[in-house]
Amino acid sequence: MKEAFAILKAEIKEEISQLDKVKTEYEALWQRVNLENPTRDEVILIGFHLHNFYNGSENIFRLIVRFFENDLPPLTWHDELLKRMMLEIEGIRLQVIDRPLFKKLDEFRKFRHVFRSVYSFELDWEKMKLVARVFDETYKDFVEAVTRFLEKMEKAIAGG
């Protein structure tokens, strides 16, 4: 199990390094956008980065579920996956995220659904801005939670 967990840890670290790139690009974009009156292209770019952040988060969650539970309900898996990350599954794995982070990430999940489902000219900047403004905080909380999870699981697997 130690070897398999080492692979999981490496895969998650790679995903986080990709998310770091998303964050760097997002911050550069955020600095140059007029937040009171962004252009349509700027709204789309911001949306694209928020979408990418949640996709990367979900990729990490899928890696965790595939490793520990090997099961995901097919119809509502996006919602179920996020909910499952709040659970500690006795004898299988520890909790990955707490309820406050769940609520933040759920807003990103909902936004990602809208971003994928509507035409770009239908994006509502006022609604989107609410998610965009908490990106940095959510990103930081997410990376800290996943890092803590990996550290605790590594100790548990090692027998400590």
| Local confidence pLDDT in tens for the 160 residues of the chain | 789 999 999 999 999 999 999 999 999 999 999 888 999 999 999 999 999 999 999 999 999 998 998 776 665 688 889 999 999 999 889 999 999 999 999 999 999 999 988 877 788 999 999 999 999 999 999 999 999 999 999 998 888 5
Domain residue ranges of the chain, discontinuous segments joined by +: 2-158
Provide CB contacts within 8 A for 143, sequence distance 6+.
Answer: 16, 19
Among residues 88, 12, 27, the alpha carbon closest in space to that of 57 is found at 12
**pTM for the full model?**
0.91
Q: Does domain 2-158 have CATH number 1.20.58?
A: no
Provide CB contacts within 8 A for 90, sequence distance 6+.
Answer: none
